[in-house]
Amino acid sequence: MQSPYLIFLGDANLTGMDKMGAGIRQWRGELCLAQHRLPGCAFDLDLPEMAPAQAQAAGCRTMIVGVVNVGGFIPENWIATIVDALESGLDVAAGMHTRLIDIPAIAEAAARTGRSVHDVRAPTRSFAPGTGRKRSGKRVLTMGTDCAVGKKYTALAIERELRARGVDADFRATGQTGLLIAGRGVVIDAVIADFVSGAAEWLSPDADPAHWDVIEGQGSLAHPAYAAVTLGLAHGSQPDAIVLCHEPGRAKMLGLDYPVPTVSALAEMALQATRLTNPAAQVVGVSINGSNLDRGSIDAVIAGIEAETGLPCCDPLLHGPGRIVDRLLG
């Protein structure tokens, strides 16, 4: 996929919908040249605003649809913009379940212009069912009280911290954004259900005993739509260590009338889930996403979680994940 990128945010306006664009902006900011939004868009990635033709003239090579939505589909009113991007000389990438190439107007425009479309969520290979066989090497998995609470950011921050300390570590992407950031991985929620744990086993193969795979979690064990993906990923990952991820102040699961579990309740669920394939699994820390809190509130939340759980707690973007990594390696 050719960079630099134009990030397209459509008219996305619900909490968390910008997380693909925001993730690429945060972790591959050097590849992001501009953003393009439609009227009604509630997000801003702090990039210059450019239409596709202008972005192409400025050097962009690919427009990334930087939005996630429930069901993973391309809204009808974005198709014209995607066709415009292809006609302006840009490739287009998206991470939806509905593939760009399956939308006739887009497929036709791609063929006519000779541009490429990248459907990064669709698996590019098949997988075997899981076996539960114990693999060598060490693994840490991030698990969330909900979707969009910081599981990917936490895993990326831990990979960076481990490498800074000279530890051999690899971030293992399990979502479309993580895959674009890392350049490899498997979008685990797009795998056929029977093969979820098998795909997770494939993702973090046997490794040197001192090597850490830092596996991006997905969904939440407490989420009525996505817990199956979360459980299959946990079973296949066989994590030695779990880092819990939480957004303080969020009362309801994203888009649903279900309560968000407490960190302690999630810790219990996470251990029950992971112990099937790794009885030695332990929770080593709590990562919070304090982006909606002021600094004083963050400090109070962290003190409360540490008192309640006895685990190191931090906001990885604010404090770095050092204290969690101390516990991980300790």
Residues contributing to the site for its own copies (CB under 8 A):
70-72, 97, 128-132, 188-194, 196-198, 222, 224-229, 231-233, 235-236, 256-258, 272, 276-277
Instruction: Tell me the closest approach of the beta carbon of residue 6 to its own copies, in angstroms.
Output: 27
232, two tokens: 């299959």
What 3-state class would DSSP assign to 34?
strand
Distance CA 86, CA 40 (A): 23
Which one, 35 or 204, has the nearer CB to its own copies?
A: 204
Which one, 142 or 277, has the nearer CB to its own copies?
A: 277
Instruction: Tell me the closest approach of the beta carbon of residue 146 to its own copies, in angstroms.
Output: 13
Residue labelled with tokens 């992971």? 274
Query: Minimal CA–CA distance to 109: which of 139, 136, 89, 129?
Result: 89
Which one, 193 or 210, has the nearer CB to its own copies?
A: 193
Which one, 72 or 321, has the nearer CB to its own copies?
A: 72
Tell me the backbone φ, ψ of residue 18, rounded to 5 degrees.
-85, 5
55, two tokens: 């972005």
Amino acid sitting at position 120: V
Residue labelled with tokens 């991030």? 142
Residues 214, 158 contacting (CB under 8 angstroms): yes
Instruction: Tell me the closest approach of the beta carbon of residue 328 to its own copies, in angstroms.
Output: 24
Instruction: Tell me the closest approach of the beta carbon of residue 110 to its own copies, in angstroms.
Output: 22
Distance CA 46, CA 104 (A): 33
What 3-state class would DSSP assign to 184?
coil
Instruction: Tell me the closest approach of the beta carbon of residue 227 to its own copies, in angstroms.
Output: 6
Which one, 136 or 272, has the nearer CB to its own copies?
A: 272
Instruction: Tell me the closest approach of the beta carbon of residue 96 to its own copies, in angstroms.
Output: 11
Distance CA 256, CA 81 (A): 30
Which one, 121 or 246, has the nearer CB to its own copies?
A: 121
Contacts of residue 188, Cβ cutoff 8 Å, sequence gap at least 6? 174, 175, 196, 199, 200, 203, 218, 229, 232, 233
- In order of 44, 127, 180, 181, 213, the CA distances from 202 in angstroms are 36, 8, 18, 19, 12
Instruction: Tell me the closest approach of the beta carbon of residue 100 to its own copies, in angstroms.
Output: 16
**Angle, CA of 32, 33 and 35, to the nearest 5°:** 90
Which one, 106 or 231, has the nearer CB to its own copies?
A: 231
